[in-house]
């Protein structure tokens, strides 16, 4: 729709975009740079109130091209009843402890898994395996692309180590079937008792409060796990001002109104969304679990800022499926992925 709108020269003044939009909007010249507006903004609006990771995600080649209004941060969730059942002293804090817990928490009926010790991914979406890999890669201190965005780095030691770890959990230890359990209606596997742990956003809390209140007290969340570093991934939704806007000043006024502290609080409270403003940590709607996720943003890393990122993801998603179904090794997966991605990157060289 946006491609058609810009091709026709008639666009909305203000539009929303998802996690990978900023570099593409900047590359195509579709988003207005906002630095001058931000510099002149009131102290009350205060761009410094946004988390650094979210500011980073919205900044391309040194220019701010969007304002985040919502983000998805994922950290480690577990069920307290499962933790008690396996006799663990506390929730996992690192990869070694996660593997031990996941194996102890997996329940089988013969060769059939009836409860996942750790829920990695569900079927149904081509990015379902790729997205959870990102935070394991980041815990290993790996990165998807080189700093200059010219080369795939998934065949580096940290990235292979992360892939080997996920492969060990799913293919060797079999702490979940592959693909993993699907949601049962709106119930996530961990909410419905079909998984002992997972990595997730605030969804387990929101879903349990709405559909399974009896499960709520069993669902607990921690700060991100640690391996080489303590890290997780962040997905950022943003507002853009169209470069074709005939009223950029009025549009900026609308944008700052919608992202004011007061309105961000109202919006975030409406769906138990994580607010992008650091000053909202103690807002009335922020529960203890949401505060843990909020604090996890300190450890967050956004996507690399390549404008063709979705294209780069596709070969990786294909190779991941082969790896997690036991058809090829982690090393071959990463080597083949990098070869395919580097072919795409070479087109821009």
Interatomic CA distance for residues 192 and 75, integer angstroms = 19
Q: What share of the chain is helix, strand, coil (3-state, %, to 5)?
A: 45, 15, 35
Interatomic CA distance for residues 312 and 339, integer angstroms = 11
Q: Which pLDDT tens digit goes with each residue over 75-120?
A: 999 999 999 999 999 999 999 999 999 999 999 999 999 999 999 9
Residue 159 neighbours by CB distance under 10 Å: 26
Asked if the model's pLDDT at residue 3 lies above 90, the reply is no
Q: Which pLDDT tens digit goes with each residue over 237-267?
A: 999 999 999 999 999 999 999 999 999 999 9
Q: For the domain covering 2-73+233-301, report its CATH number.
A: 3.40.190.10
Strands 232-241 and 300-301: parallel
Question: What number is the average pLDDT over the span 297-319?
Answer: 97
- Please name the residues in contact with 248: beta carbons below 8 A apart, sequence gap of 6 or more: 13, 32, 241
Are 65 and 58 contacting, i.e. CB atoms less than 8 angstroms apart? Answer: yes
Question: What number is the average pLDDT over the span 156-185?
Answer: 98
Question: What number is the average pLDDT over the span 199-221?
Answer: 97
What pLDDT was estimated at residue 273? 93
Are 122 and 181 contacting, i.e. CB atoms less than 8 angstroms apart? Answer: yes
What pLDDT was estimated at residue 134? 97
Interatomic CA distance for residues 56 and 47, integer angstroms = 12
DSSP letter (8 states) at residue 348: T
Q: What are the φ/ψ torsions at residue 93 (nearest 5 degrees)?
A: -120, -10
Interatomic CA distance for residues 181 and 167, integer angstroms = 17
- Please name the residues in contact with 173: beta carbons below 8 A apart, sequence gap of 6 or more: 99, 102, 103, 106
What pLDDT was estimated at residue 341? 99
Domain over 75-231+307-346 is classified CATH 3.40.190.10: yes
pTM summary value? 0.95
Question: What number is the average pLDDT over the span 149-178?
Answer: 99
The residue count of the chain comes to: 349
Band (pLDDT 50/70/90 cuts) for residue 228 is very high
Return the higher-pLDDT residue of 334 and 10. 334
Using the structure block, give the residue that is written with the tokens 């980041």: 138
Band (pLDDT 50/70/90 cuts) for residue 335 is very high
Asked if the model's pLDDT at residue 300 lies above 80, the reply is yes
Band (pLDDT 50/70/90 cuts) for residue 203 is very high
What residues does each domain of the chain span? 2-73+233-301, 75-231+307-346
């Amino acid at each position: 729709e946006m491609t058609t709108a810009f091709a026709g020269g008639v666009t909305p003044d203000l539009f929303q975009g998802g996690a990978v939009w900023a570099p593409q909007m900047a590359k195509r010249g579709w988003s207005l740079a906002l630095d001058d507006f931000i510099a002149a903004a009131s102290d009350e609006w205060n761009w410094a109130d946004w988390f650094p990771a979210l500011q980073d995600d919205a900044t391309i080649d040194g220019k701010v091209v969007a304002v985040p209004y919502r983000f998805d941060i994922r950290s480690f969730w577990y069920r307290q009843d499962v933790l008690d059942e396996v006799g663990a002293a506390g929730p996992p804090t690192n990869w070694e402890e996660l593997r031990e817990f996941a194996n102890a928490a997996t329940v089988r009926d013969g060769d059939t898994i009836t409860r996942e010790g750790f829920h990695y991914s569900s079927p149904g979406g081509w990015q379902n395996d790729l997205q959870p890999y990102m935070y394991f890669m980041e815990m290993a201190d790996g990165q998807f692309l080189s700093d200059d965005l010219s080369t795939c780095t998934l065949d580096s030691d940290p990235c292979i180590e992360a892939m080997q770890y996920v492969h060990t959990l799913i293919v060797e230890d079999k702490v979940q079937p592959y693909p993993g359990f699907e949601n049962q209606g709106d119930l996530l596997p961990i909410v419905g008792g079909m998984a002992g742990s997972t990595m997730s956003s605030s969804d387990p809390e929101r879903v349990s409060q709405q559909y399974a209140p009896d499960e709520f007290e069993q669902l607990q969340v921690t700060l991100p796990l640690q391996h080489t570093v303590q890290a997780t991934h962040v997905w950022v939704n943003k507002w853009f001002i169209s470069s074709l806007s005939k009223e950029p000043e009025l549009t900026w006024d609308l944008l700052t109104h919608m992202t004011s502290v007061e309105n961000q609080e109202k919006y975030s409270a409406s769906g138990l969304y994580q607010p992008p403003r650091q000053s909202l940590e103690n807002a009335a709607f922020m529960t203890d679990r949401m505060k843990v996720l909020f604090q996890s943003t300190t450890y967050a890393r956004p996507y690399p800022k390549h404008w063709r990122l979705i294209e780069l993801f596709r070969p990786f998603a294909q190779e991941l499926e082969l790896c997690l179904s036991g058809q090829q090794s982690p090393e071959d997966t990463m080597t083949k992925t990098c070869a395919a991605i580097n072919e795409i990157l070479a087109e821009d060289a």
